[in-house]
Amino acid sequence: MHVPKGSIYGFIGKNGAGKTTLIRLICGLQHCTAGGYRLYGTDNTDKAVFRSRRRIGAVIETPSIYSDMTAEDNLQEQYRTLGLPSFDDIPALLKLVGLEGTGRKKAKNFSLGMRQRLGIAVALAGSPDFLVLDEPVNGLDPQGIIEMRELILKLNREHQITVLISSHMLDELSRLATHYGFIDRGRMVKEMSARELDAACRKCTRFKVTDITALTRVAERMHMEYQILSDSCADIFSTVDITAFVLALAKENCRTVSVSQHDETLESYYVSLLGGEGNE
């Protein structure tokens, strides 16, 4: 697994594939029983890896915040834990995550989106250059998802923070990620850039017809790659002369109900790569 500096890395896999386990390993919350990893060029068995981990901020599973404290008090507590000498930049950090106006309001009265953003603020204490987020938009409403997306993009583009995101919301992840890693049963299946994914996600022509068997006969005869979606619908991945194809269907007594263009999505690419059973 290779997370390029300056990237937003989308980490994708089924339930139980090992995403959270790997995140907990690199953050030092679990220990390897076999194998190893390197952080900033330092082996996990090297004592210097502890210094490397100080460059990482993380929100794993749920934000680590004190619910009976204000946002500012939560950050002050984290600053004390890290041994930071001054609280002077806390107001700027609260503004960065959109919590500058929360005053004496306690975290237990925050919305889920506000708690997530406070968790990120706590993770950003100490100015890490690598941020690890495990399901950062899980459970958020549409507005909360938009706010989280804008925050992640801002941290990456304006503050040059590399971000690793584990998420099952693949449509949202496709709006953010510059690189992807697909994991299955604890093994990296494929890594690629967003540009490589765009090239791999094929366009197709979707036909809805009255006789799907006739469509398969015509597609086979014309040496076309296709996928049957239902008893009336199929995708043709080859370049299609629509007029010739429709006329060929008509000779088979098959009527074309509709024709439309479709792009393969991150989700469909993921399903074709790893299979559909038990997908997140």
The proportion of the chain whose per-residue pLDDT surpasses 90, expressed as a percent, equals 74
Calculate the CA 36 to chain-centre distance. Answer: 24
Nearest to 60 by CA among 12, 115, 23, 28: 23
Read off the pLDDT of residues 155-193 as tens digits, 9 standing for 90 and up. 999 999 999 999 888 889 999 999 999 999 989 999 999
Confidence of residue 278 (pLDDT cuts 50, 70, 90): very low
pLDDT at residue number 50: 92
**Greater pLDDT, 179 or 197:** 179
Q: What is the mean pLDDT of residues 114-127?
A: 96
pLDDT at residue number 171: 87
Q: What is the mean pLDDT of residues 81-85?
A: 92
pLDDT at residue number 280: 40
pTM to 2 decimal places: 0.79
pLDDT at residue number 239: 81
What is the 3-state secondary structure of 72-91? HHHHHHHHHHHCCCCCCCHH
For residue 74, list its beta bridge partners.
none
Calculate the CA 165 to chain-centre distance. Answer: 5
Read off the pLDDT of residues 17-51 as tens digits, 9 standing for 90 and up. 999 999 999 999 999 899 899 999 999 999 999 99
Confidence of residue 16 (pLDDT cuts 50, 70, 90): confident
Domains and CATH numbers, the chain: 8-198 (3.40.50.300), 202-263 (3.30.70.100)
Token pair for 189: 């299946």
For residue 180, list its beta bridge partners.
10, 192
Confidence of residue 275 (pLDDT cuts 50, 70, 90): low
Q: What is the mean pLDDT of residues 233-261?
A: 92
Opening angle at CA 188, ends 187 and 192, nearest 5: 170
**CA–CA gap between residue 131 and residue 116 (Å, rounded):** 14
* DSSP state letters, 92-117: HHHHHTT-TT-TT-BGGGS-HHHHHH
Nearest to 120 by CA among 157, 139, 147: 147
Q: Do 83 and 155 form a contact (C-beta atoms < 8 A)?
A: no
For residue 161, list its beta bridge partners.
none
Amino acid, res. 188: M
Token pair for 155: 């941290």
Q: What is the mean pLDDT of residues 262-268?
A: 80
pLDDT at residue number 150: 96
Residue with tokens 């929100």: 59
pLDDT at residue number 62: 84
pLDDT at residue number 61: 81
Q: What is the mean pLDDT of residues 126-146?
A: 93
Read off the pLDDT of residues 202-230 as tens digits, 9 standing for 90 and up. 788 999 999 999 999 999 999 998 989 99
Confidence of residue 15 (pLDDT cuts 50, 70, 90): confident
**CA–CA gap between residue 176 and residue 113 (Å, rounded):** 18
**Please, where are the H alpha helices in the chain?**
19-26, 49-53, 71-82, 90-96, 112-124, 142-159, 170-174, 194-200, 212-221, 242-251, 266-274
DSSP 48: T
pLDDT at residue number 113: 93
